[in-house]
């Protein structure tokens, strides 16, 4: 079957030139061109191949009441039908995944690579045998396709536009949802804002790139494509599917490692006295739920270095004003982190990475919170219902809405007591001067980057280890999704591993590389290939993960690849109603990335660490909405530090007007950059240029 001459079992056809066949090893239903196939009827005879056909076609009697006399139903014909049914039943018992992946050509659409199963209802055999006369039976293949239709069920708490699907059941059990979705696919909340054009998408739900494992999908009409959405997509691409429950862990071959991680987590919780002993649930108290989260930690080469199990609280059941008040917790921005790398390069400083073990457990709660008894902790009365008992939380736990804030307050109070200082412009950068120089501690949740000379770094590590349980990761090589290479002439920051996984996720790792991220674009409304969807033009189906691809590219463009910023911004405008033209443009970026995987930011050791900015505008870059384009980039020591390419929100009446708008956006960024840099240099005692 096909150009590779694989063995297969013919089961039907899609068109006169396209046939369908079963893969004997995997049971997958595949297609091939009829001209590329050779039928061997010696091993698999055709239906009726054992019998001799009439040499001459008999005359048709138009007055006959039936045709049973010309083509009587015999036991031989029933036997042939039974053979096909047996083959289909055998195909259903075969595994779902590919056993031999060599030579298999994958589609660039991930949904089409999911193995398709041929299912036969159990009653089909009885119907075929019982009807011995000219009655026709329903096509079992069409019936099973109708049964496989899926409907939306629940909505993810953190992303209102994400929903999960399950098979339709005659009497589905009641489920609880936080945000209900109406039949037309729109949210009941009318204030949702969509980035891009506001053209309705008729409630098209797009499956995610890990749909096979998680069942997640996105509503193109309500999904907000921003940096938070891009970060969630990047996290999905970087990680392989991890077990989602303790039941799944027990079924895996690496259960012993997960068991050790679970025991280590429970020991850590007991050591820090996170919750009290098991007590009966007080009256008028609603304990929050719990969940086990399993993650495999990886290094810069995507190698598993540690198995991690985390007991988290289901914070979405907390009540505002009763269980929590304030939840905001600052984190370090990517621009600040890139400046610190540039500063370390210019001043020949060292960078050390440390991780706080169970960081959130060090925070103290500001309210009384009760939680259900977690799995693995016994209750006093084993015959009683576990819901009648609970535990009282003494410290903040992962999953609570205020846990991040409590941990930041705990860490900042300790660092301020040790003589470190920060300000509102960069609250996650703590600086301390010493007789030998200075030390900088940049905080991103529980990851601490320590920058300074060897003596100051050792002193900072000693202070942190006396107060918290720390894990020393040595020289910073992988942090915040960035690969950091320390070279003799500078520091090179890139994301080649992420780019490779992105290409493999969308099956474009073997595509022909392109030299530019996008083709030449015309500003004529009729000739622009990136124009919005026209009336009557078909929207991409749910099998095209357009939003996932845009989110993954946006994360890359905001981190280390300013060269694709404009192309990604242009395609992100059509997230609500993408077409095949926009999907082709997105694949163009992937082809460009396939040839430029190793591109990144190189912070070179120079003697001119000055801040230089460039701003420009493209007048009427979007002729369909009469908007111009803003673009700026700021360099520190000759390396890009901050950049942006976005569509202007105002209508520019001239090229001068669009330039002024772009200059205003660049000036705002410049003011913040100068304040941040001046604060760090002044606190470190560095003479600013």
**Location of structure tokens 């530090």:** 641
Average pLDDT of span 218-237: 76
Residues sharing a CB contact under 8 Å with residue 460, sequence separation 6 or more, in sequence order: 432, 439, 441, 450, 452
209 phi/psi in degrees, rounded to 5: -75, -20
Residue 186 has what pLDDT?
34
Average pLDDT of span 404-427: 93
Task: Say how far apart CA 622 and CA 646 lie, in whole Å.
Answer: 11
Average pLDDT of span 258-268: 87
Write the pLDDT tens digit of every residue in 528-547. 999 999 998 999 988 899 99
Task: Say how far apart CA 145 and CA 407 lie, in whole Å.
Answer: 51
Query: Which run of H or of E encompasses 389?
Result: strand 389-392
Residue 672 has what pLDDT?
95
Query: Does residue 102 have a pLDDT over 70?
Result: no
Query: Does residue 173 have a pLDDT over 60?
Result: no
Residue 682 has what pLDDT?
92
Distance of CA 66 to the CA centre of its chain: 60
Task: Say how far apart CA 177 and CA 496 lie, in whole Å.
Answer: 39
Query: Mean pLDDT for the chain?
Result: 79
> In the structure, what pLDDT confidence band is assigned to residue 95 with cuts at 50, 70 and 90?
low
CA nearest to 573, candidates 624, 526, 615: 624
Tokens (6 digits) for 269: 């919780």
Region at 186 (left for phi over 0; alpha for psi -120 to 50; beta for the rest): beta
Q: Is 355 helix (H, G, I), strand (E, B) or coil?
A: strand
Residue 218 has what pLDDT?
79
Query: Does residue 240 have a pLDDT over 50?
Result: yes
Task: Say how far apart CA 386 and CA 381 lie, in whole Å.
Answer: 9
Residue 174 has what pLDDT?
41
**In sequence order, what are the beta bridge partners of 306?**
297
Average pLDDT of span 363-384: 85
CA nearest to 632, candidates 680, 672, 597, 577: 672
**Location of structure tokens 């009446």:** 653
| Contact yes or no for 327/365 (Cβ under 8 A) | no
Residue 683 has what pLDDT?
92
> In the structure, what pLDDT confidence band is assigned to residue 450 with cuts at 50, 70 and 90?
very high
Query: Does residue 357 have a pLDDT over 70?
Result: yes
Burial of 384 (0-12, 13-18, 19+ CB in 10 A): exposed
CA nearest to 269, candidates 309, 299, 231: 309
**pLDDT higher for 188 or 405?**
405
> In the structure, what pLDDT confidence band is assigned to residue 50 with cuts at 50, 70 and 90?
very low
Task: Say how far apart CA 383 and CA 389 lie, in whole Å.
Answer: 12
Task: Say how far apart CA 450 and CA 17 lie, in whole Å.
Answer: 65
Mapped to the 3 state alphabet, what secondary structure does 140-196 carry? HHHHHHHHCCEEEEEECCCCCCEEEEEECCCCCCCCCCCCCECCCCCECCCCCCCCC
238 phi/psi in degrees, rounded to 5: -70, -30
Residue 13 has what pLDDT?
82
Residue 63 has what pLDDT?
53
Query: Does residue 203 have a pLDDT over 50?
Result: yes
Write the pLDDT tens digit of every residue in 324-341. 888 999 999 999 999 999
DSSP line for 349-396: -EEEEEEETTGGGGSBPSS--EEEPPTTS--S-TTS-GGGEEEEBSB-
Residue 343 has what pLDDT?
94
Residue 190 has what pLDDT?
35
Which segments of 7-117 are extended strands (E)? Answer: 9-15, 18-22, 29-33
Task: Say how far apart CA 535 and CA 539 lie, in whole Å.
Answer: 10
Average pLDDT of span 391-410: 91
Task: Say how far apart CA 279 and CA 379 lie, in whole Å.
Answer: 9
DSSP state of 361: G
Average pLDDT of span 463-476: 92
**pLDDT higher for 606 or 479?**
479
Write the pLDDT tens digit of every residue in 578-631. 999 999 999 999 999 999 999 999 999 887 888 999 999 999 999 999 999 999
> In the structure, what pLDDT confidence band is assigned to residue 221 with cuts at 50, 70 and 90?
confident
Residue 146 has what pLDDT?
41
Average pLDDT of span 139-143: 41
Residue 33 has what pLDDT?
82
Tokens (6 digits) for 60: 């048709």
Residues sharing a CB contact under 8 Å with residue 141, sequence separation 6 or more, in sequence order: 12, 118
Query: Model pTM greater than 0.85?
Result: no
Average pLDDT of span 424-448: 93
């Amino acid at each position: 079957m096909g150009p590779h001459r694989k063995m297969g079992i013919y089961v039907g056809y899609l068109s006169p030139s396209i046939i369908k066949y079963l893969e004997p090893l995997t049971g997958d239903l595949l297609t091939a061109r009829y001209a590329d196939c050779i039928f061997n009827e010696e091993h698999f005879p055709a239906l009726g191949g054992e019998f001799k056909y009439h040499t001459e076609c008999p005359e048709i009697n138009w007055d006959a009441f039936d045709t049973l006399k010309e083509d009587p139903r015999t036991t031989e014909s029933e036997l042939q039908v039974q053979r096909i049914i047996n083959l289909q039943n055998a195909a259903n018992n075969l595994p779902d995944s590919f056993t031999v992946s060599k030579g298999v050509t994958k589609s660039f659409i991930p949904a089409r690579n999911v193995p398709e199963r041929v299912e036969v209802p159990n009653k089909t055999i009885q119907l075929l045998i019982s009807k011995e006369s000219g009655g026709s039976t329903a096509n079992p293949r069409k019936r099973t396709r109708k049964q496989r239709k899926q409907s939306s069920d629940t909505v993810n708490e953190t992303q209102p536009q994400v929903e999960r699907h399950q098979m339709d059941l005659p009497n589905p059990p009641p489920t609880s949802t936080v945000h209900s979705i109406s039949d037309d696919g729109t949210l009941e909340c009318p204030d949702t804002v969509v980035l891009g054009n506001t053209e309705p998408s008729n409630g098209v739900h797009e499956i995610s790139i890990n749909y096979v494992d998680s069942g997640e999908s996105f509503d193109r009409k309500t999904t907000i494509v921003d940096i938070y959405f891009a970060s969630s997509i990047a996290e999905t691409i970087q990680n392989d599917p991890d077990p989602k429950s303790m039941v799944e862990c027990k079924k895996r071959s690496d259960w012993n490692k997960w068991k050790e991680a679970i025991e280590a987590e429970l020991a850590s919780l007991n050591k820090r006295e996170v919750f009290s002993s098991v007590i009966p649930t007080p009256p008028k108290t609603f304990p929050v739920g719990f969940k086990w989260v399993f993650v495999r930690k990886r290094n810069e080469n995507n190698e598993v270095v540690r198995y991690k199990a985390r007991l988290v609280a289901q914070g979405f059941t907390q009540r505002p004003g009763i269980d929590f008040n304030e939840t905001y917790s600052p984190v370090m921005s990517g621009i600040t982190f890139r400046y610190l790398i540039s500063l370390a390069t210019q001043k020949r400083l060292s960078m050390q990475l440390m991780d706080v073990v169970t960081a959130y457990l060090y925070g103290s709660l500001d309210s009384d919170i009760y939680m259900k008894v977690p799995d693995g902790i016994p209750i006093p009365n084993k015959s009683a219902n576990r819901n009648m008992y609970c535990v009282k939380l003494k410290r903040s736990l992962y999953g609570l809405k205020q846990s991040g804030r409590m941990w930041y307050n705990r860490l900042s109070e300790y660092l301020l007591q040790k003589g470190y200082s920060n300000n509102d412009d960069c609250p996650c950068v703590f600086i301390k001067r010493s007789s030998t120089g200075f030390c900088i501690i940049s905080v991103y949740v529980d990851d601490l980057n320590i920058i300074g000379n060897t003596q100051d770094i050792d002193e900072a590590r000693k202070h942190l280890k006396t107060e918290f349980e720390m894990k020393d990761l040595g020289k910073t090589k992988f942090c915040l999704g960035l690969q950091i290479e320390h070279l003799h002439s500078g520091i090179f920051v890139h994301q080649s591993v992420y780019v490779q996984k992105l290409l493999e996720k969308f099956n474009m790792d073997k595509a022909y590389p392109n030299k530019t991220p996008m083709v030449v674009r015309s500003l004529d409304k009729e000739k622009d290939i990136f124009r919005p969807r026209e009336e009557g033009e078909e929207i991409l189906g749910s099998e095209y993960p357009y939003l996932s691809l845009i989110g993954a590219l946006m994360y890359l463009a905001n981190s280390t690849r300013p060269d694709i910023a404009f192309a990604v911004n242009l395609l992100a405008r059509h997230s609500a109603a993408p077409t095949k033209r926009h999907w082709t443009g997105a694949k163009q970026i992937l082809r460009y990335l396939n040839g430029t995987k190793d591109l990144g930011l190189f912070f070179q050791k120079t003697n001119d660490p000055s801040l230089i900015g460039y701003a420009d505008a493209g007048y009427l870059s979007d002729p369909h909405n009469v908007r111009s384009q803003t673009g700026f980039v700021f360099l520190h020591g000759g390396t890009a530090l901050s950049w942006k390419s976005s569509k202007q929100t105002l209508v520019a009446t001239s090229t001068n007007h669009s330039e002024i708008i772009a200059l205003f956006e660049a000036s705002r960024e410049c003011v913040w950059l100068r304040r941040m840099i001046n604060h760090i240099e002044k606190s470190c005692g560095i003479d600013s240029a």
